[in-house]
Amino acid sequence: MEQIDAQLFLRMVRAGTDRLNNNVEQVNALNVFPVPDGDTGTNMNLTLTSGLEEMEKQAAADEVGKLAEALSKGLLMGARGNSGVILSQLFRGFGKGVAEYTQLTARQFADGLKQGMETAYKAVIKPVEGTVLTVAREAAEKGVAVSRQSDKLTDVMEAVLEQARVSLDRTPEQLPVLKQANVVDAGGQGLVLIYEGFLAALTGEEVVSPVAQPVNKAADLDRLSDIAHEQSAQSHFETGDIEHGYCTEFIVKLDPAKVEKTPFSEENFREDMGRFGDSLLVVADDDLVKIHIHAEYPGEAMTYAQQYGELTRIKIDNMREQHSTILESEGEKESPAPTDAKPYGLVAVAVGDGVAEIFRSLGVDSVIQGGQTMNPSTEEIVQAVKNLHAEHILVLPNNKNIIMSAEQVGNLVDVPVTVLPTRTIPQGLAALLSFNAEEEPEVNRDRMMSSAHGVQSGEVTYAVRDSQYDGGEIEEGDYLGIWDGNISVAGKTLTDVSRDLLTQMVSDEADVVTILYGEDVMEDQLQEITRFLEQQFPDVECEIHYGGQPLYYFFFSVE
Amino acid sequence: MGKVQVITDSTADIPKDLVEELGISIVPLKVHLGNESFLDSINITPAEFYQRLQQAEEMPTTSQPSPIDFVEVYREAAKDGETDILSIHLSSSLSGTFQSALLAQSMVEDEFKVTVIDSKTASFGIGMIVVEVARAAKEGKSLDECVAIAQRMIENHQVYFLVDTLEYLQKGGRIGKASALVGSLLNIKPILSINSEGEVCPKDKARGKNKATGRVFDLLKQDAPNGLERVAVLYSNNREEADTWVARIKDEFEMDQVYLAEIGPVIGAHAGPGTLAIISLPKES
């Protein structure tokens, strides 16, 4: 009987990741709102890449269960955005379902998909049909049905994929917002792409080389060093007798003139560099080559690399020295002086240096950069939480696409975490005003959320494609005014849209309007808005701050 | 012994007519602006002070009366040999005034007895207590009865105040537990109070003066389910706003009499201009 063994499973996930990775923009384009918003494709891709990276560390494993567990762990840590969280849950359930297996029959594989789908449904508080959940459910059910008739892997996977496509096409019928925007569900599309990769790997049509994925092109030196050191740790790196004493990292900026004389080949370069030491990692991109090597004579390695261009970001550490320091400190090691934990640690997600500064000024201990266009992963939030020394953590996601990944954090850290489901920056700021360090977490949660709901949130951005809204047509490049998550104004000039949005938002009961302006706002535009507010609403206090956020010209808060 | 003479300090911010009517003795603190020093509300009126404050480049400072200042007033009151002296002062958490009075008390203890009380409050919070005690004294109540009245009011009265800026409280070192509110980039109106230790503490926060005022009145209602026995509105350089608060209290609490007191230079130097406060004594059930 045909079975999926560990290597095949790895190839499937590689192919799935590759397929998604190559179609990120297509998935992003399916976002319902034509705003530069939390990009579903990007989020799913980063999440899945994190899962695959974790798998690659176990690439030698010969049990599917082990790999599926690694995938699940990587996905969970890398989960970004709601679609990423759901994806992580799909494979968490799958991983549990196949944990005991060395190889998978078609039937076991299909049952795993079903278990994944069930886990995802449970993880979502209010599952909505017409989303990736529906696609996953119907596809898994179809897969289970076919696996009872055929034990051929491709039969089952073909059925799963076909059903996923049919379900995806139906999503606009189930979800009116999709129909209005004339798109299918983006998360569902992402899942279809992953399944396409799976099938291609099963049929052998598509083979993705493993090196393409685990080290991302954008990998920076720090990551490179982490990867290299992790590998050396795995290969029993004996620090006692260090042969190559200097951990060396640098970047070569490929110089076209030099490369003309000595053509650059990544493979040859890697081979040549290998002569200078071990723990070698080389990552090349169009014009940069990043190198990590443990060498005894780092100068020689660098001289060699210099024939291709200039060197930059050079970092050399003496590992023998480090080693003895570690031994020393371990010898004297006493438990670190216990400092008193603060009753609360506050973590907020915000975009823009000005906005972050305002959050800090209101008592937030750690601000994670992220928001509309870049949803932080669960892991980033976990790291922020781990760096705080507090008895209880409050997390303010300040974006509807970050709430779910924030909610995963509690499962991954030892300290109790309360997520305040703030959906906008103004809500986050309003919630902080009601925070009281002397109150219990439940009391704080209730008070802070009640304050958050007492504020109106407005955003001004631009359309990334043609669309429509209740008020009419939207053309690409139009300015958009968004009021509590709904497009309520569209127009050709920034000031007109901003004025119209404010006019809608400022009611008779409004006392204070706070404006956070983005990095692309001009002084005269800002002045025009301020003058308008003063003239139109003389009784309202108006406060203006630099937010520095990209893509969003203004955040308005009316309370 | 006979009648009770009530002595307080200038930070009680008691309106002049009441001081005269009830024969209250007042020991002044001092306020310093630049190189000049003034006796609180004696050789500088609140109006003059706030005007000079606007032009001043440095923050004003204040100083407590010396023990000798107290001794003189105590000796004057004790002259007839039949008077019980009750001296009620600014919170010891905010000022050394109480300490000075205690020293003065020990300096005269061989001659006569002085009862010194820490009001654990400020401004007309002290004033309202002193006025009540002085009335009782005028009616012929004993020292013990007067002390009991003072103690009950110290325990039961509530203070809420809004400052225009926390700068004065912070720079004058009286910000107490409200220090956490300093440094916020957003314009936040803190609703401040004075706790049972006599320190400034934050009670709540709001955006905008209207919301903050609404919150003060909510708190007032929470504290006084049976209505108010006594209530006062305090202001510094913002009489009109204080008048609207008085009208609102009369309306919402059906009070005929609402004290209105101007915050004097010494308290004003620490709270800043534009401060509004409510002192209340809720009715007991």
Q: Give the amino acid at A221.
A: L
User: What was the pLDDT predicted at A318?
Assistant: 79
| H helix or E strand, kind and range, residue A454 | none
* Domain shared by A397 and A297, yes or no: no
B210 close to A (CB below 8 A): yes
Last residue of a domain, one of A194, A212, A230: A212
B176: left (phi over 0), alpha (psi -120 to 50) or beta: left
Task: For the domain covering B158-282, report its CATH number.
Answer: 3.30.1180.10
In chain A, residues with a C-beta closer than 8 Å to the C-beta of B186 are 358, 361-362, 429, 514, 543, 545
Residue A514 maps to a domain: yes
Residue A319, pLDDT > 90, answer no
User: Which residues of A are less than 8 Å from B208 in CB distance?
Assistant: 511-512, 541, 559
What residue of A is the nearest CA neighbor of B180? Answer: A363
Round the average pLDDT of chain A to a whole number and report it: 86
Residue B203 or residue A218, greater confidence: B203
Residue A290 pLDDT exceeds 80? no
Picking from A212, A241, A271, the residue at the C-terminal end of a domain is A212
Kindly state the tokens that stand for A79. Answer: 């989960």
Q: Report the residue count for chain B.
A: 285
* B143-180 residue pLDDT tens: 999 999 999 999 999 999 999 988 899 888 888 877 77
Task: Specify the residue for token string 């050709």.
Answer: A492
A158 in the same domain as A236: no
CATH code of the domain in which A507 resides: 3.30.1180.10
Q: Tokens at residue A115, please?
A: 């278990």
Phi, psi of B162 (to 5 degrees): -115, 130
Beta pairing, strands A309-318 & A342-350 = unpaired
Structure tokens at B159: 């203070």
Longest distance between any two alpha carbons in chain B, whole Å: 59
- CA A351 – CA A362 distance, rounded (Å): 16
Name the amino acid, one letter, at A200. Answer: A
Q: Tell me: the pLDDT tens digits for B225-261? A: 999 999 999 999 999 999 999 999 999 999 999 999 9
Of A311-320, A391-400, B120-129, B152-161, the least confident: A311-320
CB contact under 8 A, B211 and A511: yes
Residue B202 has pLDDT above 50, yes or no: yes
CB–CB contact B186 A363 (8 Å)? no
Instruction: Decide if pLDDT at A239 tops 50.
Output: no
Same domain flag for A71 and A197: yes
Least confident range of A44-53, A187-196, A220-229, A473-482: A220-229
Residue B107 has pLDDT above 70, yes or no: yes
Domain boundary among A160, A185, A212: A212
Compute the average pLDDT of residues A250-268: 83
Give pLDDT, residue B64.
93
Q: Which fold has domain B4-29+64-156?
A: Rossmann fold (3.40.50)
Residues A278 and A244 sit within 8 Å (Cβ to Cβ): yes
**Closest to A271 in 3D by CA, of A262, A263, A261, A282:** A282
Centre a 10 Å sphere on the Cβ of residue A470 and count the other Cβ atoms it contains. Answer: 8
Residues A379 and A318 in one domain: no
Task: Give yes or no: residues A70 and A200 share one domain.
Answer: yes
Specify whether A308 is located in the same domain as A444: no
pLDDT of residue B204: 87
| pLDDT score for A176 | 85
A335 domain-assigned: no
Spatial contact of B159 and B269, defined as CB atoms under 8 Å apart: no
Q: Which residues pair with B105 in a beta bridge?
A: none
**Residue A139 clears pLDDT 50, i.e. is over it:** yes
Task: Tell me the per-residue pLDDT of A387-433, one tens digit each, with 9 for 90 and over.
Answer: 998 999 999 999 988 999 899 999 889 999 999 999 999 999 999 99
pLDDT at A277: 83
DSSP B274: T
- The DSSP secondary structure of B139-193, one letter per residue, reads TT--HHHHHHHHHHHHHH-EEEEE-S-SHHHHHTT--GGGGGGTT-SS-EEEEEE
Of A31-45, A512-526, B101-115, B241-255, the one with minimum mean pLDDT is A31-45
Confidence at residue A210, expressed as pLDDT on a 0 to 100 scale: 52
Residue A373 has pLDDT above 80, yes or no: no
Residues A121 and A244 in one domain: no
Q: Could you tell me whether strands B259-262 and B228-235 are parallel, antiparallel, or unpaired per DSSP bridges? A: parallel
Question: Domain count of chain A?
Answer: 4
Q: Share the mean pLDDT of chain B.
A: 93
CB contact under 8 A, A514 and B210: no
DSSP state of A435: -
Contacts of B210 in chain A (CB under 8 A): 511
Q: CATH number, domain at A238?
A: 3.30.70.980
The secondary structure of B38-90, three-state, reads: EEECCCECHHHHHHHHHHCCCCCEEECCCHHHHHHHHHHHHCCCCCEEEEEEC
Q: Distance, in angstroms, between A540 CA and closest chain B CA?
A: 9
Q: Is residue A515 part of a domain?
A: yes
pLDDT band at A219 (very low <50, low <70, confident <90, very high): very low
Where residue A209 falls among pLDDT bands split at 50, 70, 90?
Answer: low
- Tell if the CB–CB gap between A434 and B205 is shorter than 8 Å: yes
Domain identity same for A428 and A513: no
Report the first-to-last Cα separation within chain B, whole angstroms: 35
pLDDT at A242: 64
Band (pLDDT 50/70/90 cuts) for residue A235 is very low
pLDDT at A272: 86
Q: Quote the domain boundaries for residue A470.
A: 456-558
Name the pLDDT band for A497 (thresholds 50, 70, 90). very high
Residue scoring higher pLDDT (A241 or B245): B245
Which residue do the tokens 């723990």 mark?
A279
What pLDDT score does A322 carry? 61
Q: How confident is the model at residue A338 (pLDDT cuts 50, 70, 90)?
A: very low
Query: Which residue reads 């309306």 in tokens?
Result: B251
- Dihedral sign from CA coordinates of A437, A443, A446, A451: negative
Q: Which residues neighbour A282 within 8 Å (Cβ) at sequence distance 6 or greater?
A: A266, A269, A270, A273, A289, A290, A291
pLDDT higher than 60, residue B1: no
Residues A389 and A536 in one domain: no
pLDDT, tens digit, for every residue of A110-134?
Answer: 999 999 999 999 877 778 899 999 9
Asked if B41 and B264 touch (Cβ cutoff 8 Å), the reply is yes
Q: What is the pLDDT of residue A330?
A: 43
The structure tokens listed for A505 are 């938002």
Which three-class secondary structure state does DSSP give residue A177? helix
Residue B65 makes CB contacts below 8 A (sequence gap 6+) with: B9, B27, B28, B29, B30, B97, B100
Confidence of residue A462 (pLDDT cuts 50, 70, 90): very high
SS3 of B33, please? Answer: strand
pLDDT of residue A212: 33
At residue A213, does pLDDT exceed 50? no
Of A361, A434, A543, the CB nearest to B183: A361
Phi, psi of A266 (to 5 degrees): -60, -40
Please indicate, yes or no, if residue A331 is contained in any of the structural domains. no
**Amino acid letter at A256?**
P
Confidence of residue A104 (pLDDT cuts 50, 70, 90): very high
* Burial per residue of A238-255, b for 16 or more beta-carbon CB atoms within 10 angstroms, e otherwise: eeeebebbbbbbbbbebb
In CATH, what number is assigned to the domain containing residue A439?
A: 3.40.50.510
- pLDDT of the residue at A232: 42
Return the pLDDT at B22. Answer: 96
State residue B7's pLDDT score. 98
Domain ranges (residues) in chain B: 4-29+64-156, 158-282
pLDDT confidence of residue A230: 45
Above 80 in pLDDT, residue A453? yes
State the pLDDT at residue A509. Answer: 86
Cβ–Cβ under 8 Å, residues B217 and B248: yes
Q: Give the pLDDT confidence score for residue B124 in this predicted structure.
A: 98
Q: Cα–Cα distance between A396 and A382 in angstroms, integer? A: 13
Predicted pLDDT of residue A337? 41
- The predicted pLDDT at position A284 comes to 64
Chain A closest CA to B219's CA: distance in Å? 15
Q: A53 near A232, Cβ under 8 Å?
A: no
- pLDDT of amino acid A333: 38
Beta-bridge partner residues of B118: B89
Helix count (H) and strand count (E) of chain A? 22, 16
Long-range CB contacts for residues A380-385, cutoff 8 Å, separation at least 24: A381/A347, A381/A349, A381/A405, A381/A406, A381/A409, A382/A77, A382/A409, A382/A412, A382/A413, A384/A347, A385/A345, A385/A347, A385/A409, A385/A413, A385/A415, A385/A417
Inter-residue contact A246 to A178 (CB < 8 Å): no
A237 pLDDT band (50/70/90 cuts)?
Answer: very low
Together in a domain, A52 and A171: yes
- The Cα B66–Cα B141 span in angstroms is 30
Q: Which of A135-139, A230-234, A506-510, B252-256 has the lowest mean pLDDT?
A: A230-234
The answer for B 159-178 residues in CB contact with A (under 8 A) is none
User: Pick the residue with more confidence: B275 or A339?
Assistant: B275
